[in-house]
A and B are shown apart, each in its own frame.
Chain A
């Protein structure tokens, strides 16, 4: 009997052991199967997610610390389809508050694309609208008896560029698109600095596996040399000038000729940077965005200051040198005439500038010869970008002897600003050599960087010395006298200024100049004995008068009168009295 129990026990134990082994084997088989791998992958997919942490884009301030470009939160609004209970209410709430199409949202919620568990409805929802939606959702959640439900509606905040000044200095700042990339101006030039370095981190859903998220430093903030008040004044003056003189477009730039700081830069058209998507409806091409930097043009007589600088510096003439103007001169088989096609008789060099004589300038260029003349133009930086720290700077064009499209007559026409394309900022850079004792400065818009709690100030850069200090002083005086002798409309009561007008015919696509449309320009600076500002005015196609002396010159005077008040520059008499020992 006992033996029988022993056998039964042995058989039962063996069966149980076999069953246990079978279970173990089955467990191992299931764990190693392809389906198990698939399940593991599915589980991993929900175990966490790769998140990209974008640093806050650096802010942009004007020189007095006013915010020109900041950030504000916008929301991604989406629906978690698994948690959604009432698609009708969600579609209705979103259509009313976000202005979306009810039918489209409702249809998408009921028939989402295959494999989608979260449906994005709006990527850039306004924070006010989202605040209201959040409140509505909370109220409905707290009322179990409510017939409607916004369960499943989710909001995810992020930062987007915002421009509190709207269109002010839009041409200088540029804009940032929705992908976070900067276009034009400062936003383009310093995009990498402003944007900072995004960091990708695996964030597990399981709080037991909380990982440390590395510290993500914000993008570098920038302080510009721009003065907000002056910028606003320049834009107002420019808009008024376009209206008064019937000009199509225009630009006004104010810089400090001693260190190249751009204090204000106005250009038309402008746009509200908060609605940057209107870019295509405002601008025909990229060069219109910031005319002083991106649009080269034939400047006309303002370039005569460079021709005269070259002639004086090379020793060809002195202010007292005389020239008998007969009203025309032959160069390369072509006849060049004065702007009024008249002879001005015996003139000294101040008279040549005062009356803006093309014939006299052509004579100077031919006497210097192409090598000397173009050598100086090269030193002044014509045909080369100035290096200003704004996106899309144009180089202009200076044809040189040896170029396929250079002809001997170009030596004459270039001397008075025809057949050469420059940007206003190029001419200003060249003119800083005259205002700044022979030393050219590189214009710049960045004053300082703010990074990790430190402020790094940018030092001015000098771009060479194309002329001697005494040449600069002589020409400075000549330009001031020529304005005073002419009783120019550019003169400013109480302040002695130097400058030159420019009236340039506009070349047509057919190879000749339009007789009735001009570019009116003026470049000037002051006070002559200690220049603290340099102003460039460009009015495109003015209709009230085609002459720069009657359009751009008075605008220069208005700009200077505003500038001296905003920059606290006292009249010459007061300043000299205050600084006298």
Chain B
């Protein structure tokens, strides 16, 4: 193929492209549409971002407020417990008892009755869950008994040393 042939073919293609080129207003409209779509996309993303961040901010502030509220409640709780203990302190109860006409009982005034099934009062159980004894620091006799006292104890057993 010569250069002349090639030139002819290229001219034909050019003429073809000119024949089917879109109108300029149409191209402008496409560009405007594309721009508007992108702008809308950005706006949606921005709006979502704003909404999420503002919600996060509000929640963050609420968390801070609640945390503060918890602290204030804890302090109030501690204050009230101490105040209650002060109002029921030993000296205060004694003073009120005297004011009401009571006096300390003497040993000879106490009457004891046998009540079947009665168990004497135990020390306080202040935990909500059952009492635990995870460690038993009691030393076994073997660890605090001298060799001599152990031997002595063994010898005094009926039948002597096992």
Residues 110-130 (chain B) with a chain A CB within 8 angstroms: 110, 112, 114, 120-121, 123-129
Contacts A207-B64, A462-B138; A453 near B127 (Cβ below 8 A): yes
In contact, A127 and B79 (Cβ under 8 angstroms): yes
Contacts A67-B81, A159-B75; A464 near B126 (Cβ below 8 A): no
Complex CA distance for A461 and B135, rounded to whole angstroms: 12
> Which chain A residues border B105 with CB–CB below 8 Å?
565
Contacts A70-B85, A166-B89, A464-B145; A456 near B133 (Cβ below 8 A): yes
In contact, A207 and B129 (Cβ under 8 angstroms): no
In contact, A162 and B82 (Cβ under 8 angstroms): yes
Residues 318-352 (chain A) with a chain B CB within 8 angstroms: none
Contacts A56-B74, A207-B57, A570-B112; A463 near B144 (Cβ below 8 A): yes
Complex CA distance for A35 and B126, rounded to whole angstroms: 60
Residue A244 is within 8 A (CB to CB) of chain B in the complex? no
In contact, B82 and A164 (Cβ under 8 angstroms): yes
> Which chain B residues border A61 with CB–CB below 8 Å?
124, 126
Inter-chain CB contacts under 8 Å: number: 152
Residue A85 is within 8 A (CB to CB) of chain B in the complex? no
Residue A64 is within 8 A (CB to CB) of chain B in the complex? yes
Closest A residue to B80 by beta carbon equals A72
In contact, A157 and B91 (Cβ under 8 angstroms): no
- Tally of A interface residues using CB under 8 Å: 63
Q: Measured between C-beta atoms, what is the minimum distance from A275 to chain B in Å?
A: 15
Contact with B along A386-409 (1 / 0, CB 8 A): 000000000000000000000000
Q: Measured between C-beta atoms, what is the minimum distance from A410 to chain B in Å?
A: 24
Complex CA distance for A397 and B57, rounded to whole angstroms: 68
Mostly, the A contact residues are mixed
Residue B96 is within 8 A (CB to CB) of chain A in the complex? no
In contact, B133 and A66 (Cβ under 8 angstroms): no
> Which chain B residues border A574 with CB–CB below 8 Å?
112
Contacts A73-B75, A73-B78, A461-B139; A493 near B126 (Cβ below 8 A): no
9 contacts between A and B (CB under 8 A): A56-B78, A65-B124, A70-B85, A165-B85, A208-B60, A210-B59, A232-B90, A456-B135, A459-B138
Closest A-B pairs by Cβ, 4 of them:
A207-B60, A65-B124, A455-B127, A164-B85
- 10 more contacts with CB within 8 A, not counting A65-B124, A229-B90, A454-B127, are A62-B124, A64-B124, A65-B126, A70-B78, A127-B79, A157-B75, A207-B57, A207-B61, A210-B63, A448-B123
Interface of B toward A, CB cutoff 8 Å:
53, 56-57, 59-61, 63-64, 67, 71-72, 74-76, 78-79, 81-86, 88-91, 94, 104-108, 110, 112, 114, 120-121, 123-129, 131-139, 141, 144-146, 149, 152
